Amino acid sequence: MNEVRFGIIGCGVIAPTHAAALDKIENARLVAVADIQEDKAKGFADKYEISSYYKEYNELLNNDEVDAVSICTPHYLHSPMAIDAARAGKHVIVEKPMAITMAEADEMIDECKKANVKLGAIFQHRFDPAAQCIKKAIEDGRLGQLVMGGSYTKWYRSNEYYDYGRSWRGILSKGAGGALINQAIHMVDLLRWFMGPVDAMSANISTLTHPIEAEDICVASIKFKNGALGTVEASVSTVPNMPEQLHISGTKGTVVIEGTKLARWDIEDENLKDMQALCFQDVRFQGKSYYGDSHPRQIEDFVLAILEDREPYIDGNKGKDALEVVLGIYESAREGKQVKFD
């Protein structure tokens, strides 16, 4: 194989980001799309000049020209669609969260392993140059012993965001949650990636400004297994909409991400300007500002993982990291007690 042919399942908000990435990635090509609204699938196919479009995603899975699928559907559909794709012999890359329970995530991993297909979970911000710089600094010991980390996603979403043709959002059985699992999970993933496994957490969630079942505001306190402490704040009720932030502090310094950029780099004998210069932007890839341009980097890695027969940089097991934290926060808030991790 010298080319990976993709199908996209779900032609909603995030699908164009996957399509645009595939258009620019060498050795990848979009050949089919599926959406429950057939006119949407046809419009998407026309826009990206592909001939195969389907109303039923299983018809796409039966297309022998499709080697891999991008799953861009509502949360509750990720696991069953990924499992069906694996059983059809297709490689799978799935949008966040990869599933809405840990059992579903484990089943996805098992089914892909049985079928000998690759499974990737989208957490594109691990590919941001700023995040890569911080990860290397931590691994090199330049931050010293990690002592504190904070993830802050203070956004605003209108009521129309939940009721204008997107009825799954805010419904617990379909989204599993609200602001935390849908918006803040990206920063939670980076926090977990930088700080390491979680030991325990306590959390509170509320629904203050939207007529939905799920939370629109969340605050959690975390203890990591290395002894460091952390905070997660998530909101879609905050005015004005603010860039997300991530703070990481060690005994030798502190670094801060704002949006996808380095905002502070306070490490002895290093400076922000020099580090920002290392955090290039790949001119091939441009997307919506709040997605950054790292979706294509992750999808490109997934393509190469298939061609090189290796695991993707973010496989199913790594995709579970943030999900475990998010579900732990929900459990703590629901039960009104601290949740301990094994």
Q: Residue 99 — very low, low, confident or very high, per pLDDT cuts 50/70/90?
A: very high
User: What's the pLDDT at 280?
Assistant: 59
Share of the chain above pLDDT 90, in %: 88
User: What's the pLDDT at 283?
Assistant: 46
pLDDT of residue 285 exceeding 70, the answer is no
pLDDT of residue 54 exceeding 80, the answer is yes
Can you give the residue ranges of every domain in the chain?
4-123+297-314, 125-265+321-340
Q: Residue 275 — very low, low, confident or very high, per pLDDT cuts 50/70/90?
A: confident
- Residue 261 and residue 248 in contact, taking contact as beta carbons nearer than 8 Å: no
Nearest residue to 306 via CA among 27, 14, 32: 27
Q: Does domain 4-123+297-314 have CATH number 3.30.450.40?
A: no
Residue 289 CB-density burial (10 A; 0-12 exposed, 13-18 middle, 19+ buried):
exposed
pLDDT of residue 165 exceeding 60, the answer is no
Q: Residue 271 — very low, low, confident or very high, per pLDDT cuts 50/70/90?
A: confident
Nearest residue to 72 via CA among 5, 145, 6: 6
d(CA 102, CA 276): 37
User: What's the pLDDT at 288?
Assistant: 46
pLDDT of residue 115 exceeding 90, the answer is yes
pLDDT tens digits along 65-82? 999 999 999 999 999 999
End-to-end CA distance of the chain: 41
Average pLDDT rounded to a whole number, residues 175-185 = 97
pLDDT tens digits along 37-47? 999 999 999 99
Q: Residue 282 — very low, low, confident or very high, per pLDDT cuts 50/70/90?
A: low
Query: Average per-residue pLDDT in the chain?
Result: 93
Average pLDDT rounded to a whole number, residues 112-129 = 96
pTM here is: 0.94
pLDDT of residue 213 exceeding 70, the answer is yes
pLDDT tens digits along 223-247? 999 999 999 999 999 999 999 999 9
CATH fold group of domain 125-265+321-340? Dihydrodipicolinate Reductase; domain 2 (3.30.360)
Say which residues have a Cβ less than 8 Å from residue 56's Cβ, sequence separation at least 6.
Answer: 34
CA distances from 333 to 91, 179, 184, 215, 234 (A): 36, 14, 16, 10, 14
pLDDT of residue 291 exceeding 50, the answer is no
Q: Residue 292 — very low, low, confident or very high, per pLDDT cuts 50/70/90?
A: low
Average pLDDT rounded to a whole number, residues 216-225 = 98
User: What's the pLDDT at 281?
Assistant: 54
User: What's the pLDDT at 289?
Assistant: 45
Share of the chain above pLDDT 70, in %: 95
